[in-house]
Amino acid sequence: MTTLFKMLIDAYNAVSYTHNYIFGFEYKKVIYMATVDSSVLPFVCKLDKASRGAGYSLRFCPNAEQKLFLLPSAKPVCSADYFHQLVADSIYNNGEIFEMLVTESFGQVWTKDNVPFTKGADVVGNGIPYQVKFQKATFCNEQSIRNLSK
């Protein structure tokens, strides 16, 4: 693990409201949700180049091996075809549609919000606050971490 990668994970964990995650990913034409904690971040995230001069970013962009790593903690949500049709028929992106499906799986009504990851969870299920991320999601970048530490 590179020093920068570890620094981004540690800095993110230091300011994150919750350390519980529901990760979404597509595997063999099925959308899954894996319920995990922050201990898996080094195994399922990667260091990537951030946009607009913000340095590097920490991203959840699982490859096939990482998806297999998450499968024991995962359950199927819906078919990939159904998921992609929901996205196509809405104004929301993959992450927002996945968050909606996760929220509904807890018997709640989803509404779009912009609560910062430092102030609240994306969903609270069974009394546990979760941050929800779908594949290709960015956690943070060097610039956002610098801004938060000011």
| Distance separating alpha carbons of residues 123 and 126, to the nearest angstrom | 10
Provide the pLDDT for residue 150.
62
In the chain, the number of structural domains is 1
Residue 147 included in any domain: no
pLDDT score, position 145: 86
pTM of whole model > 0.85?
yes
Query: Is the separation of the CB atoms in 8 and 143 below 8 Å?
Result: no
Q: Classify residue 60 as exposed, middle or buried by CB count within 10 Å of its CB (0-12, 13-18, 19+).
A: buried
Mean pLDDT, range 66-71, rounded to an integer: 98
User: Is 148 inside any structural domain?
Assistant: no
Q: Residue 92: which domain range?
A: 3-142
Report the percent of the chain where pLDDT is more than 70.
99
Judge contact between 143 and 55, C-beta under 8 A: yes
Query: Predicted confidence band at 1 (pLDDT cuts at 50, 70, 90)?
Result: low
